[in-house]
Amino acid sequence: MTRFGDFQPLCTNTPSYPWCNLFYRQLEHESPSTLAGVSADAVSAPVGINPVCGALRLGHDGSLGNVANIVACAVSIIFVVLLIVFTSRRTAAVGRVELRYFQILYLFTLPFQLVTTGGFLEQGSTALVVVTAIHAGLVAALFWTLLANGIVATQVVEDGTLSSLIPFHFFTLAFFAATTYISLDVAFTYTSTFGPSVPPQALHSTPLFVFTSIWPGAAAILYFLLMLYIVLGILNEVRPVWYFILAATVFVLSQLDYFLLNKVICRGSNARVDGSFVATILETAAVGILYLAWKSITEDSWDDAAYYP
């Protein structure tokens, strides 16, 4: 019987699900008999726990690892760097500093995603666990910065000032630190609070599930509702709404691909690639559309003519 907080269905049926790396380390030390099939050999094991489909570790049996997602992450890194440059040039735009921090944090998640899902490091290794834990912390912090951008857009506090940036950075660090610590505790079982799954095969961790699955979805929904209120209720604009709707649609499609089509693509390619690369492309596209949405409701530069005719 699957409970709230069980990762077993995800780690078995969703190829390249990165948080499974944490449970592999836990099972390897607490219940090694649980690991079977392709997961039995840590040297060549793919991402996941006894996955129904998954690319073997890079270099084993001719495997190229998760090569498609590696390429998708690399291209996304270049694209996001350009977004950051374009955002920085809009000196007078409301929320410029906060949006740039969101983009930078998303940029940071991409190389970590590349490593945690790419098949470079051996399953159960300390290096893979630490990288995965940091990746989880970055994802949790990323969605706080997304929600914070929506809060800043309401102009409750003036954007780019200490009254905005201090709580912005405080909660960013808080989400990062809390999620990273919980992730490390799941893998290394430092304590009984966040440590061993009971039973082991359930891969259970309610706090990790909340921070990596529930929180991102909740933050995205709250951000979307805030922006609809701002654009329709305060700015009385309609056109920018379509950007936000498009961004939300693309993001939802990325998640549907990851959790529904991922396994289908993996099986169809004989485990050479999986659907995670499509999800990465769509997520990056959603970040790009959010930039266009923000651009459509902000000013490009200060209108000096108004002060110096």
- SS percent in the chain: helix, strand, coil, step 5: 70, 0, 30
Q: Up-side HSE of residue 54: CA atoms within 13 Å toward CB?
A: 28
Q: Give the per-residue pLDDT at 161.
A: 87
- Amino acid 300: pLDDT: 61
CATH class given for the domain over 8-297: mainly alpha
Residue 256 has, within 13 A of its CA and on its CB side, a CA count of 6
Closest residue by Cα to residue 294 from 158, 105, 100, 164: 100
Per-residue pLDDT, 193: 84
The pTM assigned to this predicted structure is 0.94
Q: What is the pLDDT of residue 305?
A: 41
Looking at residue 24, its pLDDT comes to: 96
Instruction: Tell me the C-alpha distance between 281 and 274, whole Å.
Output: 13
* pLDDT number for residue 309: 34
For the chain, what are the domain ranges?
A: 8-297
Exposure of 168 in the CB half-sphere (CA atoms within 13 A): 27
Q: Which residues of the chain have pLDDT under 70?
A: 1, 300-309
pLDDT for the residue numbered 306: 38
Quote the distance between the C-alpha of residue 56 and its chain's center: 23
- Supply the pLDDT for residue 45: 96
CB atoms within 10 A of CB 13: 16
